[in-house]
Amino acid sequence: MKKKFLDLGTQPITNAYLTKESPDKEYLYNLSIAFDEETKLVSLVDMVKPEMMFNDSYAHRASMSKTMLASFKKIAESLKARFNPKLTLEIGSNDGVFIRNFNVDEVIAVEPCGNLAELTNKMGYKTYTDFWDQKTAEQIVNSYGKVDVVFSANTICHIEDLNELINAIDLVLDDKGVFVFEDPSLYSVLQNTSYDQFYDEHVYVLSVIALQNIFKKHGLEIFHVESLLTHGGSNRIYVKKIYNKSQSVLSSVDENIKKELSFGMDSIFTYEQFADRVIKSKNDLIDLLIKIKNENKKIISYGATYKSTTIFNYCKIGKDLIEYIVDTTPNKQGKFSPGMHIPIISPEEGFNNSVDYAFLGAWNFGKEIINKEHDYINRGGKFITHVPHVRVL
């Protein structure tokens, strides 16, 4: 039975950056999170229709960060060295940040956002402008045959129907093939009180426990888990068909399951305690911002992330507290943040001497940002974060 444990209030579509500060209408829904005591899955209670989130005006560009560019290059090289694939498939190829590490005849991609698929098709990479399902998998098998490696980053947790998703993987994968995917780790979210990992696109925030259960039902199994620092703590999960004995199941699988069980991730009480920490985080952040503002200091936010949309809408933080957001992504600049309508401008325009405090909306790139912004720090500029608890850095 699904039990709701957290209510993050009324929220907009995180990808719906606004061209006007006061739009005529804006789609809003209730963002609540539930734990399923049977499957151990943590999911949104109300889900937004995929077509409303993933469309031709999708804003996020995965290649905007040096950290992610390096991470995708590294995993592409590692998959080639470890599994020697003749054909690799990526689900959710965004702007080609992963596939560009392959020759065009070694990789195919699936990407439902038309603007992004057009980009990679133009680069010469065959990209299906489709959602990932059995129909798309069949088309690929008919045109290319089975694939050796299926890779996906920050996409699997967007797909509501996990049974359909896994059936489609099973269909497209060669008997000795592997499915490797990475997504934010529920363990890290609980450790960091990073409730901002919950938003419309993240239909699930996944645990290894829940994944192991569902893969087993489909004749697949996890054979390795890597813990990554990306996106504030992610799991990279390696999956194979159970009857494929060419890959042995590594100790990392049991180690991760034991770690999650010892943290109580199979029990609703753990999630209820997390919800209490989220409420404290909200109150602490509002108090800190008001205190700074009362000292007549200027606060902005660094990174117009989807995550910060959850925070600003949950905490009702508007431009009275955060004057504007700076972001390097050209198609976010000149727009307004969903829900709270905070202006978004380029760092060149907005990250200047007038800024006293910058909230790390992109806290997952904290290291990259702090390394880059030494001039700001040297002149006394300060960063604020809410992970793992609210504080000035």
- Residue 277, classed as helix, strand or coil, is helix
**Angle at the Cα of 72 from the Cα atoms of 44 and 115, rounded to 5 degrees:** 65
Q: List Cα–Cα distances, 39 to 121, 225, 257, in angstroms.
A: 38, 19, 14
Length of the chain as a residue count? 393
**16 binds ligand TYD, rule: CB under 6 A:** no
Alpha helices in the chain (DSSP H): 50-53, 66-83, 114-122, 134-144, 162-172, 186-192, 208-217, 251-262, 268-294, 306-315, 347-350, 366-372, 374-378
Cα 205 to Cα 65: distance, rounded to the nearest angstrom: 22
Segment near ligand TYD (CB under 6 A), from 125-133, 134-142, 322-330, 385-393?
A: 322-330
From the list 161, 323, 356, 368, which residue makes contact with ligand TYD (rule: CB under 6 A)? 368
Alpha-carbon distance of 295 to 279, in angstroms, equals 25
Find where tokens 């005529």 sit: 24
Q: Pick from 328, 331, 356, 382 the residue near ligand TYD by CB under 6 A.
A: 328
Q: How far apart are CA 315 and CA 281, in angstroms?
A: 9
Does the protein bind ligand TYD through residue 155 (CB under 6 A)?
A: no
Q: Is 188 in the site for ligand TYD (CB under 6 A)?
A: no
CB 37 within 8 A of CB 5: no
- 364 in contact with ligand TYD (CB under 6 A): yes
Q: Which of 125, 271, 306, 376 binds ligand TYD (CB under 6 A)?
A: 306
* CB nearer ligand TYD, residue 60 or residue 282: 60
Looking at the Cβ atoms of 223 and 324, the one nearer to ligand TYD is 324
* 305: contact with ligand TYD by CB under 6 A: yes
Contact window for ligand TYD (CB under 6 A) among 71-79, 142-150, 289-297, 325-333: 325-333
Answer for which of 35, 365, 376, 383 binds ligand TYD (CB under 6 A) is 365
- The string of DSSP codes covering 200-235 is TT-SEEB-HHHHHHHHHHTTEEEEEEEEE-GGGSEE
* Footprint (CB under 6 A) of ligand TYD, residues 34-63: 60
Judged by beta carbon, residue 256 or residue 305, the one nearer ligand TYD is: 305
x/- mask, ligand TYD, residues 78-117, rule CB under 6 A, reads ----------------------------------------
Query: SS3 for 325?
Result: strand
Reference 77, options 173, 149, 156, 128; nearest CA is: 149
Q: Is the dihedral of CA 45, 202, 113, 325 positive or negative?
A: positive
- Does residue 337 interact with ligand TYD by CB under 6 A? no
Structure tokens at 239: 């999956």
CB closer to ligand TYD out of 6 and 369: 369
Number of shown-chain residues binding ligand TYD (CB under 6 A):
18
Question: Given the complex with ligand TYD, which of 65 and 188 has the nearer CB atom?
Answer: 65
Candidates 112, 233, 303, 339: give the one binding ligand TYD (CB under 6 A). Answer: 303
Whether 87 and 115 have beta carbons less than 8 Å apart is answered as no
| Binding status of residue 166 toward ligand TYD by CB under 6 A | no
Query: 98, 185, 327, 343: which one contacts ligand TYD (CB under 6 A)?
Result: 327
Instruction: Determine if 65 is a binding residue for ligand TYD (CB under 6 A).
Output: yes
Amino acid code (one letter) for 168: A
Q: How many of the other CB atoms lie within 10 Å of CB of 84? A: 9
Per rule CB under 6 A, is residue 369 in the interface with ligand TYD?
yes
Segment near ligand TYD (CB under 6 A); pick from 263-271, 282-290, 367-375, 383-391: 367-375
Q: What residues make contact with ligand TYD under the rule CB under 6 A? A: 60, 64-65, 303-307, 327-329, 332, 362, 364-365, 368-369, 372
